[in-house]
């Protein structure tokens, strides 16, 4: 399991943002909203600049969400890791010795309990919880599970970042460029 040395994980929605981030201090970059035809070239560009790419599998156009797609990503694209809500993607990534981050949407107490059960079943390297503006839930999760937590979604201010970190998240994922720049 990788040890992260950054408190912010910038999540790029556009290729221009990926290019910008390869010139930043960030070691890990998350790729959102891409197309399968772009993945290999983006991963190669990121690696050539000594950065590590994490691909959000659920947001890749042209990619079916199953274990074969995850195998393809692991073996052909070879990012540093993947993010997915799907159990089979997490399990397949782990089999391929790929960093796995399972995304959980915590909408109510039932979703919270389901997330705990899924985390026990899939044993991802990390979980990302959304929305990340729930410090009390982050604190509760860190007490109940042994998996490091990333907080993401709806985090718009530096205060919200700091609140998530103080509650026990090891880092925050965000597409907010102002937050990227603040922590850079």
Question: Burial, 5: exposed, middle or buried (Cβ in 10 Å; 0-12, 13-18, 19+)?
Answer: exposed
Range of the domain at 121: 8-183
The band of 2, judged by pLDDT with boundaries at 50, 70 and 90, is low
Q: How many domains does the chain have?
A: 1
- Rounded to an integer, the average pLDDT of 161-168 is 98
Q: Is residue 141 part of a domain?
A: yes
The answer to whether residue 173 sits within a structural domain is yes
Residue 148 lies in a domain: yes
CATH number for 109: 3.20.20.70
Closest CA to 184 of 161, 154, 160: 161
Task: Give me the mean pLDDT over the 78-103 stretch.
Answer: 97
Mean pLDDT throughout 136-161? 97
pLDDT value at residue 32 = 96
Give me the mean pLDDT over the 1-27 stretch: 92
3-class secondary structure, 7? coil
Considering the domain boundaries, does residue 2 fall inside one?
A: no
Is residue 77 included in any domain, yes or no?
yes
Q: What per-residue confidence (pLDDT) applies to 68?
A: 93
What is the model's pLDDT at position 66?
A: 85
Q: Is residue 71 part of a domain?
A: yes
Q: Enter the pTM of the model.
A: 0.96
73-88: average pLDDT: 97
Q: What is the pLDDT of residues 25-44, one digit of tens each?
A: 999 999 999 999 999 999 99
């Amino acid at each position: 399991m990788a040890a992260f040395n950054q408190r912010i994980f910038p999540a790029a929605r556009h290729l221009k943002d990926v290019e910008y981030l390869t010139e930043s201090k960030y070691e890990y970059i998350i790729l959102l909203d891409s197309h399968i035809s772009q993945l290999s070239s983006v991963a190669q560009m990121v690696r050539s600049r000594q950065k590590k790419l994490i691909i959000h599998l659920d947001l890749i156009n042209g990619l079916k969400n199953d274990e074969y797609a995850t195998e393809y990503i692991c073996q052909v694209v070879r990012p540093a890791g993947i993010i997915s809500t799907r159990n089979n993607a997490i399990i397949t990534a782990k089999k391929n010795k790929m960093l796995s981050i399972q995304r959980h949407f915590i909408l109510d107490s039932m979703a919270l309990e389901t997330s705990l059960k899924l985390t026990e079943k899939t044993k991802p390297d990390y979980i990302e919880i959304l929305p990340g503006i729930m410090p009390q839930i982050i604190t509760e999760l860190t007490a109940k599970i042994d998996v490091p937590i990333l907080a993401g979604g709806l985090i718009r201010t530096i205060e919200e970042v700091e609140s998530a970190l103080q509650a026990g998240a090891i880092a925050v994922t965000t597409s907010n460029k102002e937050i990227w720049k603040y922590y850079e």
